[in-house]
Amino acid sequence: MLPLVALVGRPNVGKSTLFNALTRSRDALVHDQPGVTRDRNYGVCRPEDQRSFVVVDTGGIAGEEEGLAGATARQARAAAEEADLVLFIVDGREGRSALDDDILRWLRKAARPTLLVINKMDGVDEDAARAEFARYGFDDVIGISASHRQGVDDLLEEVYERLPEEGDAEALDEDPTRMRVAFVGRPNVGKSTLVNRLLGEERMIASEVPGTTRDSIAVDLDRDGRQYRLVDTAGLRRKSRVDEAVEKFSVVKTLQAIEQCQVAVLLLDATEGVTDQDASVLGAILDAGRALVVAINKWDGLTTYQREQAESMLARKLSFVEWAESVRISAKHGSGMRELFRAVHRAHASATHEFSTSEINKALEIAYETNPPPSIRGHVSKLRYVHPGGSNPPTFIVHGTRLKVLPESYKRYLENFFRKRFKLVGTPVRFIFREGT
Ligand code: GDP
Ligand code: GDP
């Protein structure tokens, strides 16, 4: 499982600024797609050469708010109590406050490993700021400026020193014979109904995969002679409705499952369409670069007219992931399962295909000659060659010159050209452009 890091602190110290600095993907193309939303409190930090971890912005943690705010605060506490590491954020400009003291008391009770982070170190006397918080008694104190992205890399180093080692769970993921599939979606779309049906159908050939202390995180499923590992199934089956906080907290599980799977099946509820929450799960899948199948569940409950309405709405709302296949299913009645698994296999095959350098250079050459990049203010990009940059998602590294003036529209053209030529469905495709040879 991905480690969990919680940002804790009073309002306005810069938690959400730091959250964004940690979780925004470097690839703006991926990040800024229209129609995709992202959860403002839960995200994944993916440093280039280190293990990823889940980041939770716990929002306000101290208050005894009621209603919605109360639920948010409870979630925040639940997240911090489960975290592998808490970053206690304070404001270097304003110094200590009574609220900081309250939070510290609460953190001591929660007893999680905690690092003190003094933010807004830009333009303040750093020694004075450190002295101000010295009485909190932390051995290690990191000063940063989140809004200037200063000190964030040092902070990351400190974080890694404190995160748990990769455990057996990760080793279990490496079983190459099993395709790792995650069924994800917001509460009530039918995930447990679907998973239980799949497992029941197979007369419990499914067995829990041992190896984690907290929760069993996967279940194996053999179906039609194929082997699957359903990621985070324990979280699905043993769901608790006792506390909204716990329910919402499963966002962390969702992010972890997405990270661990090869193919994410996004469940939608046909009777409710695509909600903001659906869109943010989709955003997480795209950020992770996972293969995707959209399963529109509860298709049984719709009249013909409603089905037509649903079709046109889905086509509109999902137009930016045209490459993903969508299937209509009923988890309740078990219909659409064959189509679902076929789509999963197509997505997996596309996502994990190994390309030869010669076939992709041939493709680049044809794409280039059919439609060379346009001249931009007298400058023209030259594309020289391409080499494979890995799979899942398929990644192509294109070398050339004057790539700064290569228009986004041309990048999309290349992507579509490659998709068509290599019949890539159900997976994102990444192009990385490198100046020079
Ligand atoms: P949160 O309530 O803890 O999530 O705080 P925000 O991230 O919303 O930040 C509160 C305010 O502090 C915003 O106006 C930010 O622009 C500002 N801020 C955040 N980080 C820094 C920083 O490193 N230096 C300065 N000077 N301002 C910052
Ligand atoms: P989860 O929160 O995503 O795990 O959703 P559940 O599996 O608990 O399902 C939520 C509700 O939707 C339950 O009342 C299910 O009986 C119902 N449900 C699930 N799948 C279907 C379906 O295919 N058709 C219909 N009509 N209802 C379904």
Complex prediction ipTM:
0.85
For ligand 2, the distance from its centroid to the CA atom of residue 194, given in whole angstroms, is 8
Ligand 1 atom 16 nearest Cα: 147
CA dihedral angle for residue 184, residue 335, residue 338, residue 428, rounded to 10 degrees? -30
Q: What is the pLDDT of residue 211?
A: 41
Strands 207-208, 218-223: pairing kind: antiparallel
Q: How much of the chain is helix, strand and coil, in % rounded to 5?
A: 40, 20, 35
- What whole-number percentage of the chain has pLDDT above 90? 58
| Separation of alpha carbons 320 and 282, rounded Å | 11
Quickly state the pLDDT bin for 270 (edges 50, 70, 90): very high
Please tell me the number of the ligand nearest to residue 93's CA: 1
| Separation of alpha carbons 12 and 378, rounded Å | 47
Q: What is the pLDDT of residue 40?
A: 79
Nearest 5 degrees, angle CA 390-CA 264-CA 430? 30
DSSP code of residue 136 = G
Q: Give the model confidence (pLDDT) of 124-144 as tens digits.
A: 999 999 999 999 999 889 999
Q: What is the pLDDT of residue 242?
A: 43
Which helix or strand (DSSP H or E) is residue 364 part of?
Answer: helix 357-370
Is residue 350 over pLDDT 90?
A: yes
Q: What is the pLDDT of residue 130?
A: 95
213-227, 228-242, 275-289, 408-422: range with lowest mean pLDDT: 228-242
Q: What is the pLDDT of residue 27?
A: 59
Q: Give the model confidence (pLDDT) of 207-254 as tens digits.
A: 444 443 344 467 888 888 899 988 876 555 444 444 444 454 578 888
Q: What is the pLDDT of residue 252?
A: 83
DSSP code of residue 140 = -
For ligand 2, the distance from its centroid to the CA atom of residue 332, given in whole angstroms, is 7
Q: Is 272 in the pocket of ligand 2 (CB under 6 A)?
A: no
Higher pLDDT, 305 or 249: 305
Q: What's the whole-number mean pLDDT along residues 36-46?
A: 83
Q: Is 331 in the pocket of ligand 2 (CB under 6 A)?
A: yes
Q: Is 298 in the pocket of ligand 2 (CB under 6 A)?
A: yes
Higher pLDDT, 397 or 232: 397
Structure token pair of residue 174: 């490496």
Is residue 277 over pLDDT 60?
A: yes
Q: What is the pLDDT of residue 35?
A: 67
Is residue 58 over pLDDT 90?
A: no
Locate the ligand 2 atom nearest the alpha carbon of residue 331 and give its number.
23
Quickly state the pLDDT bin for 87 (edges 50, 70, 90): very high
Q: What's the whole-number mean pLDDT along residues 167-184?
A: 72
Is residue 345 over pLDDT 50?
A: yes
For ligand 1, the distance from its centroid to the CA atom of residue 337, given in whole angstroms, is 48
Higher pLDDT, 182 or 177: 182
**Phi/psi at 54 (5° precision):** -85, 135
Residues listed for the chain: 437
Q: Is 427 in the pocket of ligand 2 (CB under 6 A)?
A: no
Locate the ligand 2 atom nearest the alpha carbon of residue 185 and give its number.
3
Kindly give the residue spans of alpha helices, DSSP state H, lying in 202-326. 233-237, 244-260, 276-288, 304-317
Q: What is the pLDDT of residue 63?
A: 54
For ligand 1, the distance from its centroid to the CA atom of residue 181, given in whole angstroms, is 38
Q: What is the pLDDT of residue 192?
A: 84
Ligand 2 atom 17 nearest Cα: 190
- Yes or no: say if 229 and 175 are a contact pair by the CB < 8 Å rule: yes
Quickly state the pLDDT bin for 297 (edges 50, 70, 90): very high
Q: Is 247 in the pocket of ligand 2 (CB under 6 A)?
A: no
69-78, 108-117, 327-336: range with lowest mean pLDDT: 69-78
Higher pLDDT, 167 or 327: 327
Please tell me the number of the ligand nearest to residue 100's CA: 1
**Phi/psi at 291 (5° precision):** -65, 150
Ligand 1 atom 24 nearest Cα: 120
Q: What's the whole-number mean pLDDT along residues 146-152?
A: 94
Q: What is the pLDDT of residue 77?
A: 73
For ligand 1, the distance from its centroid to the CA atom of residue 91, given in whole angstroms, is 9
Q: What's the whole-number mean pLDDT along residues 272-294?
A: 91
Which residues contact residue 215 at a Cβ distance below 8 angstroms, ignoring those fewer than 6 apart?
Answer: 234, 235, 238
Identify the CA nearest to 365 among candidates 353, 374, 357, 376: 357
For ligand 2, the distance from its centroid to the CA atom of residue 188, given in whole angstroms, is 6
Q: What is the pLDDT of residue 147?
A: 95
81-95, 211-225, 274-288, 313-327: range with lowest mean pLDDT: 211-225
133-147, 222-236, 303-317, 320-334: range with lowest mean pLDDT: 222-236
Q: In the predicted model, what is the mean pLDDT of the chain?
A: 85
Angle in degrees, 0-180, between the axes of helices 357-370 and 408-421, rounded to the nearest 10: 130
Q: What is the pLDDT of residue 238?
A: 47
If one residue of 8, 17, 125 were mutated to test the ligand 1 pocket, choosing by the most ligand atoms within 8 A of its CB, it would be: 17
Is residue 309 over pLDDT 70?
A: yes
| Separation of alpha carbons 432 and 272, rounded Å | 37
Q: What's the whole-number mean pLDDT along residues 187-194?
A: 87
Q: Is 190 in the pocket of ligand 2 (CB under 6 A)?
A: yes
Q: Is 120 in the pocket of ligand 2 (CB under 6 A)?
A: no
Is residue 59 over pLDDT 80?
A: no
The pTM assigned to this predicted structure is 0.84
If one residue of 8, 12, 125 were mutated to test the ligand 1 pocket, choosing by the most ligand atoms within 8 A of its CB, it would be: 12
Single-letter amino acid code for the residue at 76: A
Is residue 202 over pLDDT 60?
A: no
What residue has token string 């076939």?
359
